[in-house]
Amino acid sequence: MKQGGPVDFAIANEEKLAEMLKRSGKLRADATPAEVEQAVRDYLRQKAIHMPRGKGELYDKEAKRAEAMQDGQQTNGVLNGKGKKLGQSKTASVPSVKPEPWNGGKRVDRVLVLLIEYPDFPHNNIQPTETDMYYKDYTREHYEDMIFGGDDGYYDGPNGEKLISVKKYYEEQSGGSYSIEGKVAGWYQAKYPAKYYGGNVPAPDGNDVNPRALVREALAAAAQDPTIDLREFDQEDRYDLDGDGNYREPDGLIDHLMIIHSSVGEESGGGSLGGDAIWSHRWNLGSVYRIPNTTTDVPYWRGQLAAYDYTIEPADGAAGVFAHEYGHDLGLPDEYDTIYSGLGEPVAYWSIMSSGSWAGRIPGTEPTGFSAWAKQFLQSTMPGSNWLSGTTVEWNEVTPNGVEVVLDEANTKGTNNDAVRINLPDKETVITTPPSGAYAYFSGSGNNLDHTMSTTIDLTRASKATLAFDTWYAIEKDWDYGAVEVKPHGSNEWTTIQGNITTTDNPYGQNPGNGITGTSNGWVKAEFDLSAYAGQTIDLRFHYITDVAVSEAGWYVDNIQVTADGTIALTDDAEGDSAFALDGFAKSDGIARSKHYYLLEWRNHRGVDEGLAHILRGDRLLSYDPGLVVWYVDEGYDNNWTGVHPGEGFLGVVDADQHTLKWSGNTTASTRYQVHDAAFSLQKGAPFRVAINGSQLIDNDTSPTPVFDDSRSYDNKGAVDAGRNVPNYGLKIRVIGESVDRTAARVLIHR
C-alpha cells in the first residue's frame, strides 16, 4: 500500500474541514454539531490509517536523541527548587505575582524560512472566503514580522490587529531564556502543479503524495539566491554526529527549516485546492539531501551543506500553527489523540501542543501556553534556561498537616513557583501472569526495537524435532512482529519458520516472513516443526521487531522446550540460569513499572493565555476558566489515544467539574468542551454556552471546586475520554488563597 506524508492533527481546523466536507457533499449543510464532529473524526481517522511509518536515514540518531531528552526530564533537576522559588507561605493573603527579571543566558537559534509557490496557484491566489488570515499580498515582510516579530515583537493582523509573533511567544514562554532569529527568502516557484506534492494517496482521504519534493526544490532555489547565505543556518549538531557531546557546533545540516507553500493548508480545508493542498507537519526528507551549489567546511556530506528535518506551513498560517510545528522541531511530541480514536484527550486548549494552537479571536493568532509537562521537557533539554522553575514534593513526605506552596501565573516568571511536581510511588500495571513460576521471557515494549534471545541446539542425531512454548502477546497488528528464526550453526543467514501462531500476510511490507502479530488473547501453546533442520547443529532465536510508531505490550514466552525424536534437547522455564543469550529480551514477572506524577500550575487569561478566553466556536468566543490546573502524567503510556484506553494516556488535565456536557439533542459533547472548567478554584466559573446550527450546549453549573481529592472519581462516567483514572493514595490538593487579580494562588498539599 502506498503511503503519503504525515499529518499533524493538532492543527486541524475542524470548522474549516467541516466546510470542505460540506462543499464536497460528504456532510449536510445543516448538520448538527454532533454530526459535524463525527464526520470530521471519520475523515481524520482515514488519514491516520495512512500515516507513513518508514525510518529516515538518521533515525537511529533521532531515537537516541529522543531517549536522551526523555531521560533528561528525570536527571536535570527541573523542579528541584531554588530557595526563593519554593514559594512557601504562611501568610493570610496572597500577593499578586511579582515578575522576576531573568539574568541568565539566552539561547538563540537561527531559522531559515523559504517561500515557494505552485505554478498553478501563486501565493496571492488565496481568496477572502477561504481563510480568516486573508491579506491582499503575502509578502516576505509579512512572514518576517509574523515569525520574527517587528520592533515590539508583534505583527499586523489582517484587520490591523496587534498579534503576537512566534519569536515573542517563545521568549515569553521561556522567561527570556530562548529566542529565534533568521531570514525569509522567496517566493520561489515549484516545478509542478500543487497536486504533484499535495494530492492525497490513496484518494480521496489519504495523505500528501510528495511534500518532500517541494522542500528539496525550495532548498535548491535558495542555494541559487544571492540574497541568502545558507551557511548562516548551521550552528547546531542536533544528533551529535561526531559523538563528542557538543550539540552547539555545525554539522553541515540546516538547523531549523520552515517551508511555506502558497495555498491554504489542507488542515484548514485547503481552500480552492481542497485535498490537493499540503497538510502542515514536521518531518524529515527521508535521506539527507545534499543541497546543490553549496559548500561547507563540515566533512559529513561530501563538502556540501545538507538538510534533513523540516516543518511546512501554509501561506495563510497564523503564529499558532508555526509555533506548534516549531515545538516539534525542539523535540516536543503532540499531546492530542493522534489517531482521533474518540471524543478527544483531556488536554484540548490547555496546551499549544494540542488544540491551543487554534485559540484566538482570529483562530490561531492567540496560541495558548505550553503545558507544564512541555515546559518541563524544554527545561530539561536546555539546562540553565528559564522555561520552568519550582519545587518537587515527594509523596512519602506529604503529611496530614501538609505543605503550602505559592504558584505564580504560568505566563509570568515571578518569585514563586512556576509549577509544583508531586512524585508518586512507581505505578505497577499487571500485563500478564506467567503460566508457571515467577518469570517469563519478555521482548520489551517500545518503538524501533530489534530484540533477540538465542541459543544453539544439537540436532545432529535427530530425524525429527519440534519446538514448543507458552506465549502471550499483544503486538501492533501488521506493523510489529515476533518471529522464531533458525540458521545452521556457523551460518549468517537467519530464516523465519512457520508455526501454529504465525502468518504470512504482509499488508504493509513489515512481515519478516512467518511473523507473529496481533493479540493472543491470553496464554496459548505455540508449536514449530524443526524437522527440516534434523541432522544439524542449529542456532535458534526469538526475534521481536517494532517500527517507528505505536507500541503495544509486547511478547512473552515461557516453558520453552525442544524435543528431538521424543527426547528433550532443551528446556527453559525462565526461572533459573537461562539457556539463551538475551539481547533485549529479559526475564519478567509480567508487571510493567512506570513513573507517574502530578504537575500543578496556575492558569489565567494573561499573556499568551489570553487565548484561553478567546476560543472561537460557532459565532461566539468561549472561555476556559482560570485556576489551578492539575496535570496527571503517566509515563506508562506514550500516547493519548483515549478512545482506545479511556481515562488513560501520557498526559491530561484532571477535570474539577465532573458534570457531563451534552448537546440539546442529547449527544455527548467532545472533550474540548468538557474540560473548559477543569481548573480548581475558590471562585465561580463563567456560564458556558455554544449555539451552532440550532443545537445548543449549555453549562450553567458555575460552582467553585477548590479541592482535588484522589479518593474521588475523575473518570467522567458520561464522557470517559475526558476523564483521568487517577490513583488513590489519599492525596488532597486544596486552593486556599488567590490574589485579588488572580495572578497567584496558595495551595495546600496534604493527606
Enumerate the active-site residues. 325
With CA atoms as reference, report the closest residue to 147 among 256, 292, 245: 256
Q: Is 469 helix (H, G, I), strand (E, B) or coil?
A: strand
Query: Rounded to the nearest 5°, which phi and psi values hold at 434?
Result: -55, 145
d(CA 408, CA 424) in angstroms, rounded, equals 23
Q: How many CB atoms lie within 10 A of CB 650?
A: 20
**C-alpha cell of 400?**
496530614
CA distances from 264 to 42, 54, 156, 277, 328 (A): 22, 27, 19, 7, 21
User: Rounded to an integer, what distance in angstroms lies between the CA atom of residue 153 and that of residue 145?
Assistant: 8
Q: Please check whether residue 508 is in contact with residue 479, taking contact to mean a CB–CB distance below 8 angstroms.
A: yes
Question: Of 467, 460, 455, 461, which is closest to residue 530 (Cα–Cα)?
Answer: 467
Alpha helices by DSSP H, 469-544 = none
Cell of 94: 496572597
d(CA 408, CA 205): 45
- Cell match 529480551: residue? 585
Distance CA 261, CA 145 (A): 17
Residues near 117 by beta carbon (within 8 Å), at least 6 away in sequence: 123, 186, 187, 188, 189, 190, 261, 262
Pairing of strands 524-529, 306-314: unpaired
Residue 585: which of 710, 450, 423 has the closest Cα? Answer: 450
Closest CA to 147 of 2, 313, 385, 361: 313
**Of the candidates 697, 662, 704, the residue with the CA atom closest to the CA atom of residue 679:** 704
